[in-house]
Structure 1
Amino acid sequence: KSSTLEAIFGMSFPAKDNLCTRFATELILRRALIANVNIRITPGPERSDEEKARLRDFTYSGTLADLDISYVINDVKSAMDLNGSNKVFSTNVLCIEISGPSQPYLTIVDLLGFFLAGNKDQSNEDAALVEALMLSYIKKLCTIILVVISAKSNFALQ
């Protein structure tokens, strides 16, 4: 999945085997005269007003050349309280907007991996949270779904 995103967006994304996405990421491309990257967090609907204000304070602006996405994602995990906490997934959304003269108008959402039942690492409540988040995007008009399946695993197991 990281390779697919890198091919579309022209920037490297962290990739590790068995690493699951813990929050949705909106990757937004926009045409503009000046190339720029703006990053923010959109709080989940169930967050308190204080949490929403704190999450909205998280911002990054700079150039694509200066962007260290691994560093930003670690900061995002901390801001979302996903580092060292019992929370596995978040309904908060990381928004990465890349603008420049050669960018198309395109938004891609990297959603959390879908699973039906809990296990020792993911609860049934986590499965319901992931499904609800996924369905909220599927229900939006003009949505096109691109499913990316690893070639490393047996197709029947995916």
Structure 2
Amino acid sequence: MAEDWNFFTETEICALRASGILIRKGKILLDHVMTFDEYWLPGGHVAIGETTESALHRERQEEFEQDCQIEKLAFVSENFRHWQSYQTNFIEFAYLLKDDGEISDDFHALTPDDADVEKVWADLADLSALTVAPQQLSELLTKVSDGLQHFVSTDK
């Protein structure tokens, strides 16, 4: 497998990420990074030579042992933030997924390749109280039906 679009220096991280948005009954499926108590859209790094759609299919297979059906590209974000001791620049392609019902409403599990990340269904109404990345996630989700969104996110 090719290396990921994930580059480190002593003070910086640059990465390309693909993620999926799955919403059902007023809840969204998220990755909860327990060490930092942050919530991210499920997905992962894109390998060099891999499309973002292919990366999302691969990540879904690795993490859920099933594929996903992509409805459309919802947003592209450029996330500039301080994280731990790094200045980061994450570019993320987030896809709206069709809900095929394969993931149960009470699904809760650790990510197979990272025991510090759990998959959880979070109430959409509670997103503003959570530390989410990108930080405008709640606002972006209200605009999914408006077509493709692009935004730049920076630390406050």
Q: Which structure: greater helix fraction?
A: 1
TM-score (norm 1): 0.25
Greater Rg over alpha carbons, structure: 1
TM-score (norm 2): 0.25
Q: Which structure: greater strand fraction?
A: 2
